[in-house]
Amino acid sequence: MTTIHDVAKAAGVSISTVSYALSGKRSIRADTRLRIDAAVRDLGYRANAGARMLAGTRTNILALSAPMHAETHPPAFMSFVVAIATAARRHDYDILLLTEADPLEGLRRVASSQLVDGVVLMDVDTDDARLPLLRELDLPATVVGVPRDTSGLVCVDFDFEEAARTSVRHLADQGHRSIGMVGHAAALYEHGSNFAPRFRDAFVAAIEDDPRGLRGAVAHAPAPGDPRDAVEVLQEALPDLTALVLNCNEGAHRTVLRSLAARGLRVPDDVSVVSACSSFDTAEFVPALDVVPLPAEESGRRAVELTMAQLDGRSTDQVQLIAPTWIAGRSTAEVTVS
C-alpha cells in the first residue's frame, strides 16, 4: 500500500508539504506541486480519510488503541485513558477506545470505516505489531511510548531513562553506595514492554557509570505464589543494602514496605526508599515516599496535541520525552560514606 510517506520521498518534499498539496490549505510552488502530482500518479497513491480530513471533513473522534493483557495494571492503565480522553475533550473530540485482544483488527476496522480522524497508541511494546500497520494507514497518529524503531512515527513518553538516573543520583548524593531496585513482575519484561526495560537498563548503567563506586542489584516484584520476596533477593546480592528504588506497581510497593518492616528495617533510618515512575499517590504511605512521578496527565495532553497538530499538517516525525521531576517525601536520608 502506497502511503503519503512514499509520495513525500519520491517528490523530495516533506510529508506536511504533500498534505498541504492534497488539502489545498496552503499555496504550493508550481514546480513542487508538479513533482507531487507526478509522484501521486506514478505511485498510484489514493488519498484516504486522513487527506480528506485535511480538507475540512472531520468526525471529531480519535481512536485510542489500548489493548489489555495479563500484565496490564488497571489503575495505571486507566490513568492514561482518562488523561487522553480529558485532553481530547479540550479539542471537542471524543475517544473510541479499542481494547480488544487483536489490536490490528481494531485499527484496520476504524481506518476502513473512516470513523476516526486520528489514532493514539498506548501500551506500546518495544517491537509492537501495530506499528507497521500504523505507518501504512496514513492516519494522523501519536505513539505513547518509544519503540525500538521510531522511523515514520510521532512519539511522546516519559523519560524513563532520566528518571532512573535521577533516582540513583539523589541516593548517591546522600551517601548511599549499595542500592537495590525492585522492578515490575518478570512477565512484563517478557511481554516486550518498552518502558520497564528502559528504566531497568538505565538504572544498571547509572550504577556502573557513577565514579563513586556504587553497587547495585535488580529484583523483580514476585509473581503470585512466589515464596521469596524482592527484599530477600536484594539483601542476598547486597548484604550492605541501604537504599531501594521501587519501579513497580502500588501493590508491589506495599509488599516491599511490609517486607522491610518484618525484617525490623525502618524507612528511612535503616533503608532509604524512592518510588520511581509511579502513577499513584505515594504521600499516603507511611512515611510519605520520595517520588519521581509518572505524569499521565501531561503524557495524555501531549499525545492529543501532537495528533491534532498532524491533522492540521503541522507535525513531522519526532520523539518527545517528558523530563522527570523530584517530589520530596520523608523516605530518604543521608548516610555516612565509609
**Domain pair 4-47 / 160-293, same fold:** no
Sheet harboring 141-144: ordered strands across?
Answer: 94-98, 61-65, 118-121, 141-144, 154-158, 318-322
Query: Could you identify the residue written with the cell 507535525?
Result: 315
User: pLDDT for 147-206, tens place per residue?
Assistant: 999 998 999 999 999 999 999 999 999 999 999 999 999 988 988 899 999 999 999 999
Interacting residues of 323 by C-beta distance below 8 A, sequence separation 6+? 159, 162
Architecture of domain 55-159+296-322: 3-Layer(aba) Sandwich (3.40)
The answer regarding whether domain 160-293 maps to CATH 3.30.1540.10 reads no
Say which CATH class 4-47 falls into: mainly alpha
The pTM is what? 0.81
Q: Distance between CA 166 and CA 169 in Å, rounded?
A: 5
What is the pLDDT of the chain when averaged over all its residues? Answer: 89
- Kindly tell me if the per-residue pLDDT of 142 is higher than 60: yes
C-alpha cell at 236: 542476598
* Contact by Cβ (8 Å): 53, 117: yes
Interacting residues of 78 by C-beta distance below 8 A, sequence separation 6+? none
User: pLDDT for 72-81, tens place per residue?
Assistant: 778 888 999 9
Q: What is the CB neighbour count within 10 angstroms for residue 250?
A: 19
Q: Distance between CA 135 and CA 112 in Å, rounded?
A: 15
Q: Distance between CA 147 and CA 52 in Å, rounded?
A: 29
C-alpha cell at 276: 520511581
Would you kindly state where each structural domain of the chain is located, as residue ranges?
4-47, 55-159+296-322, 160-293
User: pLDDT for 242-297, tens place per residue?
Assistant: 999 999 999 999 999 999 999 999 999 999 999 999 999 999 999 999 999 999 99
C-alpha cell at 337: 560514606
